[in-house]
Structure 1
Amino acid sequence: MNTCCAPKTRSFSRFVRNYVLLGLVITLVLYTAVLNFYMLYGKWMVAAFQLQLIAEQYDDQLARNPDASLPKGFNIETFESFDALPAELRAYAKPSDLEIDELFYINTDNYADAKNPDNPIFLVFPHQAVDGREILILQTYHAGDGDSVFFERLHKLAWLSVPFAVIVIGIFAWFLWIIGKRLTEPSEHLQDWANNLTADRLGEEIPDFGFEELNDVARELHRSVDQIDKFVAREREFLRQASHELRTPVTIVSGNVELLEKSPLNQTQARVTSRIKRANRNMQQLLETLLWLGRDNAPLGQTETINFSAFIEQEISDLSYLTEGKHVSCDFIPDSRETEIATSPAALMIVVSNLIRNAFQHTPKGQVTITLTGTEVCVKNTILTCNGQCTTPQGEGIGLQLVRRICERLDWSCTPTHLPNGGMLVCLDPGSETRVERKPELVEN
């Protein structure tokens, strides 16, 4: 069978592990990015929170002491007006740039003609105190502070987040492998059990696969196999009984016809007896075919060496009664009358006779041409009543259906082709391996 275009199947365990691991990687990448953003740029967020906290603490002091001094500390000063701010800050900012309770940030190093680590960085937090005054809390850094011990350690801590993420991925992957194995082992166990479930093991107890859903699937599989086994048993019993019940009347008819032939018969009685004999023979062939198709791997008779050409001629002669009363002619064209094949006579008789009978029966007026080329025999019926205008192909009937099934069982080639005139061309080839090569005879001088 050609598997180049077959759909690819997926492993359930691999599917679960891959998607969970993918979700983990995406989560850790996002977490690492957010962590680095917070460490590298979050210091300004921390500064805003710190200055706001200082402003709220000042409001608490004013509530207790109206004369409380303005907040002041390490690199932090407080001013009551914009004009009181350092001149370097006022050179790059305007009063309209400041909003109450919003951090204002400006790096004067970006505006300087030359980079200098002493260029100040200003963080201004405007705030309206509880007494109605507007104060400006100023925190000052310098451009060179990025090389300080604090920021150096902050950058190192940010880089540590990368190996941390890798370690977490490794630990989680190992944990995921353990969980995935625990999850997929029951399904793999179910698969092995289903593959080995046969009729002989139906009496065994259904294993526990650890999950209710898998146990339900196992019970359903067991029930289906049990039903199929019972159905096959009924079919075998039917075939056994049918073999006896159907063979009995066929044998009785055959025996009585033989007795009748021994009696003196007139022409009409002889013709009727001949028809009964042929019909009984066809019934016996059909019965053997049906019984054989109903048995798996059953051989259909012994292999014998058969003269293929003579065999076909005999079948044409036996079935010629089907053309009586019809304007049908039959031509047999063999390429050689010495072609011999080694196969089952019963199988070959059933197939060839069905092909010829199908052609005779479905040709009300016309010609049947049988061509033998090597081991390939082609049966073609040309229907003259259609005048080349038939568009509906003739039905195959049970004959060709039996031929198809027999050829499938014996690995024979059978190719039917519908013709425009309503006829059909069927080519049968039992195979080159069935051909018997004749050894040249020695001629004595």
Structure 2
Amino acid sequence: MEIRPSLRLFSFISIVLLGSVMAVGFSLLSVNYYISGLDKGLKGVMFDIARTTDVADGQSVDVIGFNVARRWEDTPEIIQKRFGSPPEEVNQLQKLKDQSSIFSIPENIYFVVLADMPEGGRKFVSRIMLERDRVELPGDTPPKNRLYWALFSALLAISVFSFILFMIMQKIAKPVESLKNWAKSMDQDNIQSSPPDFSYSELNVLASMIQSSLISAHRSLEREQDFLSYASHELRTPISVIRSNVDLLQRLSEKCPLSEKQQLTLQRIQRAGLTMSDLTETLLWLSRGDEQDMEPEPINLHEKVNFLCDELNYLLNNKDVDVDIDVESFQINVRATACHIVLSNLIRNAYQHTQHGQVKVIQSGSRVTIINSKRKIDSSLFETGSKIKKVAMGYGLGLQLSEKIIKRHGWFYEIADEQGHYQVTVDFCDSNHADPGKDFPRSGGHASTIPEEE
């Protein structure tokens, strides 16, 4: 199961991490400024002591914990040992400390400065702070406990910050969640209802925009459905007139034979009339949207396949196409009109878009597989996603309409295509009960099952 990222969780974690980094950064900066301030204060004291203390060469003077000497050899031995050589920079405080880690308090600290006197000359001023000399005042917290208290205070501050941030995000996320649920619940029954108040003006504006977009899309869909229905109804009459007149001309031709060219023209008109008639019936059936007159009824699927193959055989006139029909006796309860439309469109597409080669129609049980192949295929037609490929291998308006009908009924549907080979399989049982493992010829490629519409 794929875990999708949450914008709310991402924002919460990002802000908490950003706040924690800022808190740690400012804490380290504060500690650095605090220590730097202490060093500057200590340096000032050392300069004052150097100016007010007289000391001769060869001796050193201790003043309130500070040592003053004119020569490096006269400074305390531990200072010479720790620093190794006298400071080279004048008036710059040098510091060394014994510290086990950055989180622990230094055990011993050593300071030394080479002070340049205004009246002339230079003096070394040093200070030694040893752990054994440290005096603990009454009420002082032990250093180790101070570290624990600092860590506890930091965790407490982060926890309080996270809690406050969580409450703020809840206040913001709840209306957004309500907007999402409201948008998901929109359908044609409540699309005209006024959207609820989502607490924030930006969300209310967004809800109004969503509703306006859905209303516009719904009206466009209604207009398309109305146009489809009206156009289908209006086309039925002229198509019926064309077909009836074609039949009349065929009867008249029996008494007065037509020329070969006239006969070919009449056949073209007849084929076009049949194609338009089937297409109009399909569009009209899809535009109705209800199936009250489409109750399932038992039909012999093998007879239906044979009938349609014979009826559409005119599409193969003057083509170098071999048709192989393999059926077995099988009866199934299905909506007859939907089954007829799907089979008719699939077989018609195979016949229309195969100029030379072979068309196989295989019916086994409730499953029908239609394969159209070509002997010579232009490789340029097989670019992935190309519309040319779809037309060459059997796609068309009829196939698209068939897909809509199949989707509406939840039938199993599979497409597989390779260079020179195209296969469509439909199973008129429910897609949940269809057996994809039946022994059918397969060409690999892409396969898809279209679920039943809600």
TM-score (norm 1): 0.71
Relative distance call for 1:94 and 1:424 in structure 2 (3 A) is: closer
Separation (CA, whole Å) in 1 of partners of 2:39 and 2:331: 103
Aligned to 1:379: 370
Aligned to 2:44: 52
Separation (CA, whole Å) in 2 of partners of 1:94 and 1:237: 98
Aligned to 1:293: 286
Please tell me the root mean square deviation across aligned C-alpha atoms, in Å: 4.4
Relative distance call for 1:106 and 1:425 in structure 2 (3 A) is: closer
Residues 87 and 114 in structure 2, CA contact (< 8 A), matched pair in contact too: no
Shift of 1:228: 0.6
Q: Secondary structure at the match of 1:101?
A: coil
How many equivalent residue pairs?
Answer: 401
Separation (CA, whole Å) in 2 of partners of 1:122 and 1:330: 102
Aligned to 1:112: none
Residues 363 and 382 in structure 1, CA contact (< 8 A), matched pair in contact too: yes
Q: Which of 307, 321, 337 matches 1:314?
A: 307
Residues 378 and 425 in structure 1, CA contact (< 8 A), matched pair in contact too: yes
Deviations 1:279-332 (CA, angstroms, capped at 9, x unpaired): 655433321211233455656823111112222222233233344555655443
Q: Secondary structure at the match of 1:96?
A: coil
Aligned to 1:67: none
Aligned to 1:125: 113
Q: Which of 427, 430, 435 matches 2:428?
A: 430
Q: Which of 230, 238, 244 matches 1:241?
A: 230
Q: Which of 10, 14, 17 matches 1:15?
A: 10
Unaligned runs of 5+ in 2: 54-59, 99-107, 382-388, 436-454
Relative distance call for 1:236 and 1:356 in structure 2 (3 A) is: closer
Separation (CA, whole Å) in 2 of partners of 1:381 and 1:83: 105
Shift of 1:18: 1.0
Residues 93 and 113 in structure 2, CA contact (< 8 A), matched pair in contact too: yes
Aligned to 1:134: 122
> Is 1:97 aligned to 2:96, yes or no?
no
Q: Which of 200, 221, 226 matches 1:232?
A: 221
Q: Secondary structure at the match of 1:10?
A: coil
Relative distance call for 1:34 and 1:429 in structure 2 (3 A) is: same
Residues 122 and 138 in structure 1, CA contact (< 8 A), matched pair in contact too: yes
Aligned to 1:114: none
Residue type matched to 2:224 in 1? E
Unaligned runs of 5+ in 1: 63-69, 109-119, 436-445
Separation (CA, whole Å) in 1 of partners of 2:84 and 2:10: 60
| Of 146-155 and 13-22, the range deviating more from structure 2 | 146-155
Residue type matched to 1:412 in 2? W
Separation (CA, whole Å) in 1 of partners of 2:76 and 2:313: 124
Structure number with higher relative contact order (C-alpha < 8 Å, ≥ 6 residues apart) = 1
Separation (CA, whole Å) in 1 of partners of 2:182 and 2:136: 68
Residue type matched to 2:345 in 1? N
Q: Secondary structure at the match of 1:123?
A: strand
Q: Which of 340, 347, 368 matches 1:349?
A: 340
Aligned to 1:440: none
Residue type matched to 2:401 in 1? L
Separation (CA, whole Å) in 2 of partners of 1:326 and 1:87: 113
Separation (CA, whole Å) in 2 of partners of 1:390 and 1:86: 97
Shift of 1:178: 2.0
TM-score (norm 2): 0.70
Query: How many percent of aligned residue pairs carry the same amino acid?
Result: 25
Separation (CA, whole Å) in 2 of partners of 1:131 and 1:228: 93
Residue type matched to 2:337 in 1? A
Residues 67 and 75 in structure 2, CA contact (< 8 A), matched pair in contact too: no
> Is 1:407 aligned to 2:406, yes or no?
yes
Q: Secondary structure at the match of 1:431?
A: strand
Residues 375 and 429 in structure 1, CA contact (< 8 A), matched pair in contact too: yes
> Is 1:27 aligned to 2:18, yes or no?
no
Deviations 1:115-150 (CA, angstroms, capped at 9, x unpaired): xxxxx9763333223222423334344451257449
Shift of 1:215: 4.3
Separation (CA, whole Å) in 1 of partners of 2:338 and 2:41: 95
| Of 88-97 and 191-200, the range deviating more from structure 2 | 88-97
Deviations 1:371-419 (CA, angstroms, capped at 9, x unpaired): 3222233334565xx4x56655634233333333332333334445557
Residue type matched to 1:55 in 2? F
Aligned to 1:187: 176
Separation (CA, whole Å) in 2 of partners of 1:159 and 1:280: 91
Residues 233 and 284 in structure 2, CA contact (< 8 A), matched pair in contact too: no
Separation (CA, whole Å) in 2 of partners of 1:366 and 1:105: 94
Residues 47 and 115 in structure 2, CA contact (< 8 A), matched pair in contact too: yes
Separation (CA, whole Å) in 1 of partners of 2:190 and 2:198: 17
Relative distance call for 1:147 and 1:249 in structure 2 (3 A) is: same
Separation (CA, whole Å) in 1 of partners of 2:427 and 2:352: 22
